[in-house]
Chains A and B, each alone.
Chain A
Amino acid sequence: MLVPDDLKYSETHEWIRLDGEIGTVGITDHAQTELTDVVYVELPHVGAKFEQKQAIAVVESVKAASDIYAPVTGEVTDTNTALENNPALVNTDPYGQGWLFKLKLAALDELAVLKDPAAYKAQIGA
């Protein structure tokens, strides 16, 4: 199970990659494996604001719909429109082309409650 070293992780299996005050968010390799074939992704609107741990998107497999939670508080600056036609990117490239949305962080100190790769690996037993 892939857990890249340069990311932070939430308990609910989102990852965030920080670039200045913009964080790119997706779901982990472990999460996409558990979900199986992703067939639909419902993304937030650009400009919408979310609190940390608030439901922000929905990823659906054939079997179930799963809420995705904002790993940090912030405003949506971009969404991955490629997922509209190719939701399976979440399965094939969860840390790359399968990203979900970008957030402008409201409070950088919230990152402290996220997990580092070692802690996330421990959580999923990887």
Chain B
Amino acid sequence: MASYPADLRRTPLFQEHLKLGAKMIEFGGWTMPVFYAGIMAEHQAVRNRVGIFDISHMGQIEVSGTAAANWLNTLLTNNLEKLSIGEGQYTLMLNERGGIIDDLIVYRRTETGYLMVVNAARIAQDYAWLEPHSIPEIRLVNQSEQYAAVAIQGPLSVELFKPIGQLPSRNHLDELQIAGTNLLVARTGYTGEDGFEIFYSASAAVAVWERFLALGEPLGIQPCGLGARDTLRLEACYPLNGADLSESRTPLEAGLGSFVDLEKPSFVGREALLMQKKHGPEQRLVALKVHDRSPPVRPHYSLFAAERQIGELTSGTLSPSLGVGIGLGYVEAGFARPGQEIEIDVRGRKFPATVEKKPLYRKHASS
């Protein structure tokens, strides 16, 4: 049996992954499954049926108190006043220069209680940023160790819940019970398909995972690793922090302006964004699709137009759904319009590609 570095963190489902024959890799300081059956098979399972992912590595930071909404509104780009109890929103946490510290989903749990779900590799940085900004009127707690989490994704996701007679609602966080455990269920995901992200006590990690596998068995549920998670999210054009987003990129450059409310009187990074908006960003994150069959395109491959380098890929793969290379990359703003022809350099050979509207893949209309 292979050995796994002791300095890497493990989720409470680590042993389950080994039992299922997963190949494990390092990701953001964690040992995580990259695949069980194979990236292609797992990708297709999510597009056609249903897949389950361990996302226990993601972080949970709770903020509560009568001043919580106002305080979070000064640190996050989207407007929390839009949230009713049980709703969530995608938002960004910026530094003073407008650079992205993290992208996250914030849920309003109660009148004055909020749950932030943050990227695994950014938990420490996020908390280290939030903590010195905190005020006596709020309570800020990093609960990441206490939560296990799974994502159930794919057109048959909702079928899993039918046998237990509890259907999560479409737009609200729901609290359901499975295997004697309280689950917090959000209808969201990172694959471009219908699905759920489910948060629950780490002490019940294995019992709930096994219960979902059993409920999904008649539907052909497939455990899925980070490999398929990456191809799925790339087709859906969801950016990945650490690849497509970083502290030196702003939401305007990344095409995430719709998650920034510049009408809010103040939030960290606002001044920098207003300045950048005045002149327009110099580079923009675009989605690219290679014309014909090509090698998979990969992060850091150079992008060319007008016979010079105009940018670089930050993510890339061979799209299992489209059969051609796809990627996300930053290009000079003048080359960022859909329809723009761009060449991708693959080991010295240039493959023609087109800037496409996001997303590159859209799920079939739900029946």
Instruction: Spell out A's residues near B (CB within 8 Å).
Output: 36-37, 39-40, 42, 58, 60-63, 65, 84
Contact = CB atoms under 8 A, between A and B. Distances in A.
Nearest to A84: B293
A58 B296 contact: no
Given A36-B35, A37-B38, A62 B296 contact: yes
A30 to B, nearest CB: 13
Given A39-B318, A40-B318, A60 B295 contact: yes
Interface in B204-233: 227, 231
A62 B317 contact: yes
A62 B40 contact: yes
21 contacts: A36-B23, A36-B38, A36-B39, A37-B39, A37-B40, A40-B295, A40-B318, A42-B347, A58-B295, A58-B347, A60-B295, A60-B296, A62-B40, A62-B317, A62-B320, A63-B34, A63-B39, A63-B227, A65-B295, A65-B296, A84-B293
Contacts of A61: 39
A77 B23 CA distance: 37
Given A36-B39, A62-B296, A63-B34, 7 more contacts: A36-B23, A39-B318, A60-B296, A60-B318, A62-B40, A62-B317, A65-B295
B298 interface: yes
Q: Dominant SS at the A interface?
A: strand
Contacts of A65: 295-296, 298
A81 to B, nearest CB: 13
A81 B298 CA distance: 24
B231 A62 contact: yes
Nearest to A62: B39
Nearest to B40: A37
Contacts of B227: 36, 62-63
A119 to B, nearest CB: 21
B117 to A, nearest CB: 26
Contacts of B35: 36
A60 to B, nearest CB: 5
Interface string B277-310: 0000000000000000111101000000000000
Contacts of B296: 39-40, 60, 62, 65
Nearest to A37: B40
A5 B127 CA distance: 58
A37 B35 CA distance: 11
Nearest to A39: B318
Contact of A42 (B38, B39, B295): B295
A85 to B, nearest CB: 8
A65 to B, nearest CB: 7
Nearest to A42: B295
A39 B23 CA distance: 19
A40 B317 CA distance: 11
A61 B294 CA distance: 12
Contacts of A36: 23, 35, 38-39, 227
Contacts of A62: 39-40, 227, 231, 296, 317-318, 320
A36 B231 CA distance: 15
A125 B196 CA distance: 41
B350 to A, nearest CB: 14
Contacts of A84: 293
A60 B316 CA distance: 13
A58 B317 CA distance: 16
A86 to B, nearest CB: 11
B27 to A, nearest CB: 12
Nearest to B317: A62
Contacts of A60: 295-296, 318
Nearest to A40: B295
B223 to A, nearest CB: 15
A110 to B, nearest CB: 27
B112 to A, nearest CB: 44
Nearest to B34: A63
A61 B231 CA distance: 12
Contacts of A42: 295, 347
Nearest to A41: B295
Nearest to B25: A63
